[in-house]
Structure 1
């Protein structure tokens, strides 16, 4: 309300840490946030010792979070020591989450933790996991994986297996992806088998690609022996040569645009829905595009495409995909100092390297050191190949566009 806003404004230009200190423990999280930001603007040497000796658990938690953000690496040990003395049982879930995040931030900003700091943090946190509260367990899982806590795989995988919400399953799958040690063969299989439930997932267009990347990270933690044992299972997941994507489909006719466009634009009679759906898969659209919740996520979601494009524009997009390439799905061309050229979608990057996926339907990734890049520019060639309609008869082509019109519903009028 008005009083809270007025209180927050007093934090906009404090003259000293003393002005903001009591508000670090305020009941309103936004007031605490504003007080912490105001504190961080003060010279850290003027309030470091006060943060490390503060007796109030609420004020101490926020002050130590500020110190984790503003302090030196040699502050880490004392921050962890003081966080570990905050009474756990007296806190609610929100306060527990804030405390754990203070640990996390301290390790991120001031780490890595030495053996002594790691042991102190584990002594404080390891026995609390699992806590029986989803928000708290989600945060504990992250920090305990980072600290390589004993049996963290057992406990996290138990939460992963018991979770009913997709979001919780995803969280624990993501947290476990970089854990190298502590797995039994059965646990490895349980973890990777989860990715096979792909068809049941709900998410936006980038969701399947996110899951593929999580799985790719997890695969890097396998030994050659573990990979060999799991290979039959892995071969059934996300594969380009699965039933969704056929490597080779015979060409029936090299179509010219003028042979198809007049018929495609013509309203015509009612088309065959089943044959249109089959053509959507046969022309390999299903591998990259989603329609009515089914299909891949490498390319644009085609649900509602008939409302966004008229028949001519839709035909052009399918028949000549490189005519207009959206920058959202555009590949990048990299010319390297040794004369090589790499083309693909950028999937990750930092100041030292760029990771490129030459084909998003496979797990292949190419890591390019930035120092080796002579030139890079957007590729004018669409990732979608031309000639996909050449695998269809004219009737199948017409049924395909009718199927796109229908939004994947056999009776779109219902």
Structure 2
């Protein structure tokens, strides 16, 4: 499927194909950029009334709103002529990231913070008016879920039939075992080479299913696993065709790596799989065993998703989907275009602001767009966007093409067999394994896998057809080794083509084998692949090299090294992952790590080759070893995400055990010397003059607002280093990675938010950076960030300032485990600073470490 990226080279195309954005400067008191003809009103700020930071929003039949604080209560809001009337619901429930009003009931998907005071667990709840007095007074627990935090249970949406509810959860939320599923649930990593886990420890212990969508009835009785393989989709929405869409997040630490995925819009068809895996294991979007996104958007933090249906906006806006980005304060519009039984999407910017941490949005009964800002205890607000221009706001007429309608109808017919076993369906499903529409092929193969394998696994399939590939994928998932071997031999009999589907099917069959490949099959596979080495497009070349490395074919070492040394061109498709339309207009909103990487970009093709070569155990010459390890020294000079250098070093370490013992000390010393080369962040830094004090958030705000002295850029940079902020936080691409990157903090944090984070770091701790506490049988307590929890051993990083300092404890010795309520960031790091030094520090952070001429 053709996808559309937001790229500088595509900006003109997007403006032509999507709703045109003509306004380039804020035209309102809130500093929010809007298209011409739109107006915006800020209706309410809950923080001014100590009502928390709101993250979810819904409207009831009477037109009143319900909303939830991320870490606290539910609230009801009535809008009238005067000030809004807001009251807290007197119920022990809150922390709802998903709210839905239907049949006079409020449904809530709760993402419970472990430190909550409400006694609420993560789960699905129904809140009703039990005595018909127009007040919600009773909470019914429909289901608990195991998961919380930024990758926990997220959002709810009513199904098109009005009788079902769909929920979405992040990849830290376990799928209940009793859910019936539209897809095979024997998921594995499905990588032909070993997966390297994230060096930061993030998501390393998670199951391969990733984030997921489930469907249930209005009473939460019957459950169905609808889709899997997302990273952390926060919200979902149905368009007017009754098709479901999501907005999935990236892993920003992976910038520059071949497995990096930008944030992307997805068409979540029934039974879909999107191929998220931890660490290096993510599926390529062209693998036949997963589906692609329909638009890539670069970098950001996806939150809300809302269809334009019901808006009194220009007609084009009513037909598409709005996508909210929390990090960079941008609300995008996706203009959907039919592509077979699915869609593509042209993406344009609808509104933006600094800071504007968007959390949720709905279409109001009055036809206006309402959205919230907040999250992570940031200052929160409710806004309303109205159209006051002269364009037609006529409701769009349903106008899908006959071809699209027919294909969608066919796909839905096929999808019915994902949930029922029917031997008579097998010929029908086999017929559509070769359909030209990828979503139809995928649906047919998924349905086939849910039928009895004995009814289809031995069926004759025409060779060199899409059906042969889909059948090979199905056999890899559901067959035994003999059947996998037969499918593999069928693929290689007439020399496989250098195209992604075939190469991936071979890799999947190999990776699912329970026993080693028989020598004749291995040799035949090797002979069929060698003519394809470095002969195809870049993505396919990667897969061929992986397979030949798996087969331990040392003859590939020299040509692959030569490619790594001589082919230095970075492809446009790689650059398009990082270039977004917003960069050209307001690049200050994007992390400097992206800009630095674009200026000093790693070659992700070569990184993939280096990882593949790391598993070849024999056949190296001394000259080839030297060339290989020289490449690492060059790669480490490039820029990428926070884990870039650590992943490069991890690949290097994978190769070290296969070096002959007499040569190993030399190559190990190369690796260690590079890894231990720490930057001296305090060189040439002026220390605080003081006198300091025990800074509180109110003190910081007061000092900043008085603006004592003219902010000094070097003074701010020095205080960022002298206060040890740089040891854990990066700024302008420089610094540690055990805490959040602060380059774009000014796009979502107000002065109040930043002051609180500095003075009271334990008040809000992102679950990516929180520590775990383990109480041991001997009475000791060990605290740190979990890097791995495998084979009965837990490895922890115990110092935010020195993340390389680790300790390992035995799982059997643990008697209690809990999330630490104390931030790894110590209190008082800034207490040496005087007022002027504090103002310099705060200004420096809010400006993202950039010498903004309007400030300095």
TM range (shorter): 0.7 to 0.9
Q: Which residue of 2 aligns with 1:16?
A: 425
Q: Which residue of 1 aligns with 2:464?
A: 57
CA contact (8 A) 1:251 1:391 kept: yes
Match of 2:783, SS? strand
Match of 2:816, SS? strand
Q: What TM-score, normalized to structure 1?
A: 0.82
Residue of structure 2 aligned with 1:68, choices 455, 463, 476: 476
Q: Compute the displacement of 1:372 (Å).
A: 3.8
CA contact (8 A) 2:787 2:796 kept: yes
Instruction: State whether structure 2 residue 757 is matched by structure 1 residue 317.
Output: yes
Q: 1:304 to 1:357 in 2, by over 3 A?
A: same
Q: Compute the displacement of 1:258 (Å).
A: 4.9
Q: What TM-score, normalized to structure 2?
A: 0.42
CA contact (8 A) 1:209 1:298 kept: no
Q: Which residue of 1 aligns with 2:826?
A: 385
CA distance in 2, matches of 1:369, 1:178: 29
Q: Compute the displacement of 1:37 (Å).
A: 1.2
Residue of structure 1 aligned with 2:729, choices 289, 307, 322: 289
Q: Compute the displacement of 1:394 (Å).
A: 5.5
Q: Which residue of 2 aligns with 1:127?
A: 531
CA contact (8 A) 2:463 2:490 kept: no
Q: Which whole-Å deviations, capped at 9, do the CAs of 1:27-66 have from their partners, x for residues lacking one? A: 222221112112212211222222xx43332122221221
Residue of structure 1 aligned with 2:707, choices 267, 271, 282: 267
CA distance in 2, matches of 1:237, 1:245: 19
Alignment of 1:102-181 (within 5 A): 102-116=505-519, 117-161=521-565, 162-165=567-570, 166-181=603-618
CA contact (8 A) 1:68 1:105 kept: yes
CA distance in 1, matches of 2:807, 2:483: 39
Task: Extract unaligned runs of 5+ from structure 2.
Answer: 1-403, 571-602
CA distance in 1, matches of 2:448, 2:848: 55
Instruction: State whether structure 2 residue 617 is matched by structure 1 residue 209.
Output: no
Q: Which whole-Å deviations, capped at 9, do the CAs of 1:57-85 have from their partners, x for residues lacking one? A: 21222212211111012323222211112
Q: Which residue of 1 aligns with 2:86?
A: none
Q: Which whole-Å deviations, capped at 9, do the CAs of 1:289-330 have from their partners, x for residues lacking one? A: 233444333211213434544445423422443343222210
Q: What is the number of equivalent residue pairs in this alignment?
A: 399
Task: Extract unaligned runs of 5+ from structure 1.
Answer: 202-206
Q: Compute the displacement of 1:180 (Å).
A: 4.6
Q: Compute the displacement of 1:131 (Å).
A: 2.0
Q: Compute the displacement of 1:163 (Å).
A: 4.3
Instruction: State whether structure 2 residue 654 is matched by structure 1 residue 226.
Output: no
Residue of structure 2 aligned with 1:83, choices 472, 491, 494: 491
Instruction: State whether structure 2 residue 837 is matched by structure 1 residue 401.
Output: no
Match of 1:374, SS? strand
CA contact (8 A) 1:291 1:301 kept: yes
Q: 1:137 to 1:235 in 2, by over 3 A?
A: same
Q: Compute the displacement of 1:97 (Å).
A: 0.8
Alignment of 1:24-39 (within 5 A): 24-39=433-448
CA distance in 2, matches of 1:4, 1:270: 65
Q: 1:376 to 1:178 in 2, by over 3 A?
A: farther
Structure with more of its chain in helix, by fraction: 1
CA contact (8 A) 1:265 1:311 kept: no
CA distance in 2, matches of 1:351, 1:181: 28
Structure with more of its chain in strand, by fraction: 2
The worse-fitting range, judged by mean Cα deviation, of 97-106 and 398-407 is: 398-407
